[in-house]
Structures are given as C-alpha cells and as structure tokens.
C-alpha cells in the first residue's frame, strides 16, 4: 500500500472511538496469478459454469496468501473474515491494531467499512 493512502486512512481512523472495520485487499503478485492459468471459456457449455470456474480459480490462487495474511492479522488481536474470490480480508478491532495490519507487506489496498443505515419501506 502506498504511503499516501496509508496516511489518509490513519487520519480518518484517528478520530474513531471503539472498534473499527477495514477491508484489506491483497497486493497483486504476478507469480501467484499465473499458477495453472485461468480456465478457458471454450471448455464450458454455458457462461454460468465458466463464471463459477473463474471464481473458483481466483479463490484457489488467493487462498494461500490470504491464509498467511489472515494468520498474521489474527495474531495482532483482530477479528478476521476472508473473501477468497475477491482477494480480501475484513478485519475488525482496535484502531492501533488495525493500523499495524496496514503495514503488512501483503496488504495492497484498504478501505474503511462504513455501516449503512437500515432501509425502510416508503410509505404511500
């Protein structure tokens, strides 16, 4: 993650009180993205099957790196949820711990997760 982006997140979190949640994306690694090659669309009867094969392929490629990153982040005392097909982790915890997670060399992107208010049906 570039230093400017990291500083912006640090500033935004500085005013937070209590636990925060970030979405962390893996730093792209060309070696990880070439293992086995992506499936060919010609090998599938329909688009749905091809799409699922692409999702499975991406999740498999990201799995090892996400598992290692998840273990390191959990060791910092953060709660972690993994999204392998997206190459992302959702981490939640105290601001100082979350900021330490940003320094991990495998973190390529980060975004503060903002809860949305519940939607209510419109009244006629």
User: How confident is the model over 52-69, as a mean pLDDT?
Assistant: 81
Structural domain boundaries in the chain: 3-112
Helix (H, G, I), strand (E, B) or coil at 83: strand
The confidence score (pLDDT) of residue 1 equals 77
CATH class of segment(s) 3-112: alpha beta
Mean per-residue pLDDT of the chain: 84
pTM of the model: 0.72
Residue with token string 């809860």: 115
Average pLDDT over residues 42-48: 89
Backbone dihedral region of 50: left (phi > 0), alpha (psi from -120 to 50 degrees) or beta? alpha
Q: Is 17 left (phi over 0), alpha (psi -120 to 50) or beta?
A: beta
Q: Give the pair of three-digit tokens for residue 5.
A: 């982006």
CA of residue 82 relative to chain centroid, distance:
7
Tens digits of residue pLDDT in 73-122: 999 999 999 887 788 899 999 999 999 999 898 899 999 987 767 788 88
């Amino acid at each position: 993650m570039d230093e400017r982006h990291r500083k912006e997140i640090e500033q935004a979190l500085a005013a937070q009180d209590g636990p925060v949640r970030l979405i962390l994306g893996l730093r792209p690694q060309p070696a990880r993205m070439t293992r086995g090659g992506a499936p060919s669309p010609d090998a599938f009867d329909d688009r749905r099957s091809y799409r699922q094969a692409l999702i499975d392929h991406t999740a498999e490629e990201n799995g090892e790196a996400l598992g290692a990153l998840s273990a390191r982040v959990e060791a910092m005392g953060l709660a972690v949820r993994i999204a392998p097909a997206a190459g992302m982790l959702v981490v939640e915890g105290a601001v100082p711990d979350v900021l330490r997670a940003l320094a991990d060399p495998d973190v390529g992107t980060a975004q503060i997760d903002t809860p949305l208010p519940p939607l209510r049906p419109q009244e006629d």
